[in-house]
Structure 1
């Protein structure tokens, strides 16, 4: 199975972030994580899709990619994934991502016969949408798509 997805939005940073990046080394360092972390998740996603086992799909923004953490897999998605041995994780987050960036035709990349469990785990974030096996039109409340599974 292949996945044609980029974790980069293609949008430039906003004016405030661009200015802060020029003036504050810490902001610049965090901004410099975006592309390498996005590319690392893309490699990880390809490997996860080639595997077997339960599948967890995460959608969100730079926080879901792990920007600001010491490594791409040390953000909340990577840390939670480490606590779920045997589970595959596909991180479809986009740095600067917004809920409207998720097309209504997006579906969970699963193979026939596999199951993906809905989740609403993770820290609060304005544009966070975490999903596993749930179509957007089935979600009645933002970030609450039902709970089932182990």
Structure 2
């Protein structure tokens, strides 16, 4: 695809596109999306392009830091930690362990420290199982979410929710 073809497909001027290529101009979010449309990029590639084009990380980190001292977590669709604020980093340190586990689910299900630091671990496991079950169905029962759901089901058996006594 030539630069001219791209400018026509994206509805961006050739001069502006040239300035973007040489770093003389910074693209707006809308311009990045116009170029992504013109290039017919997949969603993952669009997201990568948006991240590369601007202060995406800084904006996310500001959003993560704003609720401090309360915890904030940014996780991907497989429940892997992508960013945290300082409070969350302190809370997650014990279940992450030396291996620096990034999966929130694996921290709940596999970490020996989870039981010691999460007072309501059985309820947390049940809650996460309730969240992941529909996500796994919606995702076509993909292998990653299916494995996480199996880990939560096994953890539910090890950590049953106590029934209130009468």
Q: State TM-score, norm by structure 1.
A: 0.21
Name the structure with the higher helix share.
2
Q: State TM-score, norm by structure 2.
A: 0.20
Q: Which has the larger radius of gyration?
A: 2
